[in-house]
Amino acid sequence: MLAKIRPVGAKVYQSQDVPADISWKTNYQYIYTNSGTAALSLAVAAAMREKAASIIDVPEVILPAYACPDLVAALMAQGASPVLVDLEADSFFLDLEKLQAAISANTVAIVAVNFLGMYERLLQLRKVADARGVLLIEDSAQAPLPISANEGCADFAILSYGRGKPVNLMGGGALLFKPTYAASVSDIVANLRSSRIVVDWVWKLKAFVVNTLIMRYPYGLLERLPFLNIGATQYHPLQSIELREGLDPLVSEGIKHFYMLRADKAAAYRQGLAGIEDIGWTLLASGDGCVDEGSAQRGLLRFPILAPSRAARDHLEIELNRRGYGANAFYRFPLHRIEGVKSRVKNGDADFPIASTFADRLLTLPCHEGITDDEVADVIAIVKAAAKLDC
């Protein structure tokens, strides 16, 4: 089948004429950057500056053991040492006991990673951070809004606007920071190159090309070209950190479309697949306390399920893709097993059994505007049939 529904990816929405509604302005100051990785790197730099007096060796930053390798790149760009912490069972949450054990005299920050539109337990992590005297960074690259936008929970929050993110601006990111840290951020970015995004004919042409390539037939063709390596997870060093301006209207428009177009699809998956939890499968977005229920109801970047085993996951992934549905195992490996990461992580030789099992079992289903309600129903039927065969 040549046509293929992409696993993830929002369209680029181009209007700069809409009123900008930036909900985090109440609690945060903010700057736009050339990427989410760059924004995280700046947050780490600010955390290192704020905690410099208490650090006795190389600054350390806590990361979940299942995450994007770009997080490691962001830390390496600032000379910080990544320290991985395993997950709680059947969840993307950091294991709180292991988190406590991983914090040292050199820890400057904990990175709380929102996953596919679902939120980490910011309030609990805030308590840990305060008790141990470290800063809290909310990485919301996979959610259109950080939970801190309204709660003001984290010291810093990160957003990303690349392809495959909730708001697709073909690149870019945002760093949100409490006014307390404004002086540190100002000093760090003082000499960075800055440019303004203008929605001119060149930008619109790029957006048209991107929106065309993520359509079914172009995407299906591109996926077959091995040299493009579409969907592969690899470590890449952070090449540059730059500032961007003029993104408020585009960000507002993208957020509006994300929530407007995705809520029904996430709800359909959640309702249609509820029965498979009785036969060994897990819905991460079931709203049963494993994740933030509100985010799952508003809309997700992808719809995540955990199969009983890697074999069951792989079988279902193959079957869905054979039918033209872009199901995807996401990172496929825990962070320390992604090529290029292990040697850069302080505890890269350690075992992270829960993260490893999570990577083996995770499958994500498309829930963007490119899949119809009837196709969501077909995906549900395929998943349920495969789940029963696995029993």
**Does the annotation mark 165 as catalytic?**
yes
Nearest to 114, CA basis, from 271, 298, 270, 245: 298
- Tokens for 344? 């850069």
- Tokens for 96? 């709180």
Cβ contact 251:161 at 8 Å:
yes
Cβ contact 6:217 at 8 Å:
no
For residue 194, count other CB atoms closer than 10 A to its CB.
Answer: 13
Q: How many helices (H) and strands (E) does the chain have?
A: 13, 12
* Sequential DSSP letters for 329-379: -TT-S-GGGSTTTGGGSTTTTS--HHHHHHHHHEEEEE-STTS-HHHHHHH
Cβ contact 7:329 at 8 Å:
no
Q: Choosing from 4, 11, 51, 165, which is the catalytic residue?
A: 165
Residues labelled catalytic: 165
